[in-house]
Structure 1
Amino acid sequence: MKKHDQDFMKRQNRLTVFEIIKNQHPISRASIAKQTGMSPTTVSRIVGELTEQGYLLNSDQVSAGLGRKSTLLGMVNASVLSVGVDLDRSLMSIGIVDLQGKLVCGSKYPRIPDESPETTLIRISEAIEQLMQQQEIDRTRIVGIGVGLPGIVNNEEGIVVFSVQLGWKNVKLAERLKELNGFDIAVDNELKVRALAEHLKGAAFGSRRTALLGFGHGVGSAIILEGEIYRGVMNSAGEIGHTTVDPSGMMCDCGKAGCLQTYINISSLLSEANRIRPIGTIEELFEAKRAGEHWAIHLIDRALMYMAITINNVVCMYNPDSVILSGELVDKFPDIHDEVEKIYLSRFLWEPLRDSFTFHRSMLNERGVMIGSGLLSQNRFFALE
């Protein structure tokens, strides 16, 4: 047990040093030691390992006041790449991410909603190989693949426990995808990796307690506490879309009546709209609202009201310093952010918490899950190495 704890601490120290250099380079060893409380010897050992493996470089020496000169450390951004996959009901987005969380390249692929897990994973594997060939990416620089998808995921074993949107249950995604392409695979819930990306590279950079809410084909949230994803026992923390708001309400895809997401998500909005007249896409519904059709105005205004109620509930539960609005509805219709903030939050936000957080829209938008999945894969690689 003692050796296990020591190995864990070594991995955590390595990851901590690496993250500091990633976010603050150029930086000296002395500054890292001061920030972390590690001994100069420990920092030098970790830096030596990372430099020898080609991840870091020493820049020119600079004067540190009247004392001795310090060698500043920098990153070799292209030394490590990872693949980020955003897997959704009708679309797969695949990108290659560098050490700074920059999307080097990416592509989108349509997906049939009832496509089998095996077919989807084969297509993902083939698309990754094709992307690497097209962009002339050295395969040896890829340290792993991260996959973000809707639903409950056993992130430690890479198993999709249950996904309503994909129609998957107990799918051993990591095991099968590794068999297909040989890379190490990290799998997680899409909102958790999106929140990680916004925390490290987006709207919540510098936040200590971030709540990200996603509104699209589903409704959910993710919490980042002191830089770590809050997971719960089953990695299902944040599944607020399946909280019950009306036991006599509409049936949800999950088989339960009155779930919160039935008042907000895209499929429910389209289903109700089609009771009035044929509406094929969410864009058509918003066009009907802009044309002044009262039924469309009612449906969308009700959805925005429930968004505000969701924000209030999450703020009351977790007391975050940053709240981020994200998801397909917000990406496609950016005005939603302002309407929720200026009209609905004033009605539904608990008064004592009104000024306790900053309210953002997603900075990374549709790239967020790809970037977050890629960064998750990199974090696992550096922690386990």
Structure 2
Amino acid sequence: MKKHDQDFMKRQNRLTVFQIIKNEQPISRAAIAKQTGMSPTTVSRIVAELTDEGYVHETEEQVSAGRGRKSSLIRLLDTAVISIGVELDRDRANIGFIDIQGNVLCSESFSRPPNEEASTTVARIGSTIEDLIATGGIDRKRIVGIGVGLPGIIEVQEGIVKFSVQLGWKNIRLADLLQDVTGFQAVVDNELKVKALAEQLKGSAYGSNRTVLLGFGNGVGSALILEGEIYRGVTNSAGEIGHTTVDPEGMMCDCGKAGCLQTYINIPSLLSEASKIKPVRTIEELFAERRAGTHWACYLIDRALAYMAITVNNVVSMYNPDSVILSGEILDKFPEVHEEIVNLCSRYVWEPLQGSFSIVRSKLHEEGVMIGSGMVAQDRYFQLN
């Protein structure tokens, strides 16, 4: 076997052992060897390396109540590895430090103009990271990288934002910009794909074999999880359901096409339609009008909820998932609409599929993209090391 093949196998074995410890801790060396098929000697060598590097530690814990026998079990040190998770949206950036278990150690947000240039946003991210390191007591030596989730088409391997309607960015080498400013390696991905990953590992999709996550906010999108893996498509653009055409004579979308699905659902379109009747600056104001019984506001939101239910029907008809996760700013800010969408699904979902899947809310809410981005950065680090 060539040396580079041997090195690759060693890295893969190391990553496999690490992931098993992470997901099933506390766990014995023997159990790891049984699951992986590796020899006890190989497992012991990898565990020793991880221990020396400060990633794991060994404890003696009770495993048999009958005889009081104790066994040597392996656990992760939660803060052995810390990553930075960043969510970028049309008008906001959320930045947090994430430990190995996906817990948010500290976080900060700032608002951004929708037309802000990438270099300006990156500089502000860098400044916020430095502030959080100082105020949050973060050990810089433990930071392994930055993960960013944002709406749009992303070339993941190179960290290039090919096209993001919401941010107004095109062909931006975001990973390189971030590394230049912060000194940390960066990985960039689509926001819903990283959120779906987080939901798979510690949220609503835990234990699911086939889940669709839908995001309703400043845009409309989806992500499909198959057997624990994100389905990406050829160009990592699988799931851009917001740009499917529902009416070729419909409203103009930011992407330049007419009648995209998201023009009936997303926040900018709702506010634009509402402002033709009354100046409405925020989605909160629009929902307040609905609660007051204002006819046009009720119409706009009821129509948006109907299209959300139609979106559920479309994805379950295409993918036949066992669960659908509803997420995004609209669901986070107005959790009461979840039940309305579920009720509308009884009208819009194809009858043979009724009852074949569950509809659940995101468990991670506003932190989902930030957590998922941080976890992607950790995965990239361990694959490379």
Structure 2 length normalisation: TM-score?
Answer: 0.95
What secondary structure sits across from 1:211 in the alignment?
strand
For 2:53 and 2:377, the matched residues in 1 are separated by: 18
More deviation, 141-150/224-233:
224-233
Q: Residues of 2 paired with 1:146 and 1:380: CA distance?
A: 9
Q: Determine whether 1:129 maps to 2:130.
A: yes
Question: What SS does structure 2 have at the residue aligned with 1:94?
Answer: strand
Does structure 1 conserve the Cα–Cα contact (< 8 Å) formed by 2:60 and 2:70? no
Does residue 174 (structure 1) correspond to residue 175 (structure 2)? The answer is yes
Separation of aligned partners in 2, 1:235 and 1:283? 33
CA displacement at 1:80 relative to structure 2:
0.9
348-357 vs 368-377, greater mean Cα deviation: 348-357
User: What is the CA-CA distance between 1:104 and the residue it aligns to?
Assistant: 0.3
- SS where residue 188 of structure 2 aligns? strand
* Paired residues for 1:103-118 under 5 Å: 103-118=104-119
Aligned counterpart, 2:374: 374
Asked whether the 8 Å contact 2:62–2:68 carries over to 1, the reply is no
- Shift of residue 277 of structure 1? 1.6
Inter-partner Cα distance in structure 2 for 1:37 and 1:227: 21
2:311 corresponding residue in structure 1: 310
| Unmatched segments (≥5 aa) in structure 2 | none
- List aligned pairs for 1:1-385, cutoff 5 A: 7-63=7-63, 70-342=71-343, 344-385=344-385
Q: Give the distance between the partners of 2:8 and 2:70, measured in 1 at CA.
A: 33
Tell me the percent identity: 67
8 Å Cα contact 1:62-1:71 kept in structure 2 = no
2-side partners of 1:89 and 1:95: how far apart? Answer: 18
Change beyond 3 A, Cα 1:2–1:313? farther
Q: What displacement does 1:288 show? A: 1.1
Q: What CA distance in whole angstroms lies between the structure 1 residues aligned with 2:3 and 2:299?
A: 61
Equivalent residue letter for 2:184: F
Give the whole-Å Cα distance in 2 for the aligned partners of 1:307 and 1:383.
38
Q: Which moved more, 1:205-214 or 1:142-151?
A: 205-214
Aligned residue identity for 2:370: M
> Deviation digits for residues 221-260 of structure 1, max 9, x if unmatched?
0112222211111111100000111111111000001100
Shift of 1:67: 12
Structure 1 gaps, min length 5: none
How far did residue 36 of structure 1 move? Answer: 3.3
CA distance in 2, matches of 1:70, 1:378: 29
Aligned residues: 384
Taking the aligned partners of 2:362 and 2:278, their CA distance within structure 1 comes to 32
Q: Describe the SS at the equivalent of 2:46.
A: helix
Residues 340 and 52 of structure 1, relative CA distance in 2, 3 Å threshold: same
1:290-318 per-position Cα deviation (integer Å, ceiling 9, x unaligned): 11112111111111111111111111222
Q: 1:61 to 1:327 in 2, by over 3 A?
A: closer
Letter in 2 for 1:379: D
Q: What's the CA shift string for 1:163-183, capped at 9, x where partnerless?
A: 001000000000111011111
SS state of the match for residue 258, structure 2? coil
Answer yes or no: is the 8 Å Cα contact 1:243–1:259 preserved in 2.
yes
Q: Distance in 2 between matches of 1:25 and 1:304?
A: 42
Quick one: structure 1 residues 45 and 228, their matched pair in 2 at CA, closer, same or farther if it must change by over 3 Å?
A: farther
Mapped partners of 1:139, 1:215: distance in 2: 35
Say if 1:3 and 1:293 are closer, same or farther in 2 by CA, change over 3 A.
farther
Residue type at the aligned position of 1:36: T
Amino acid at match of 1:58: E
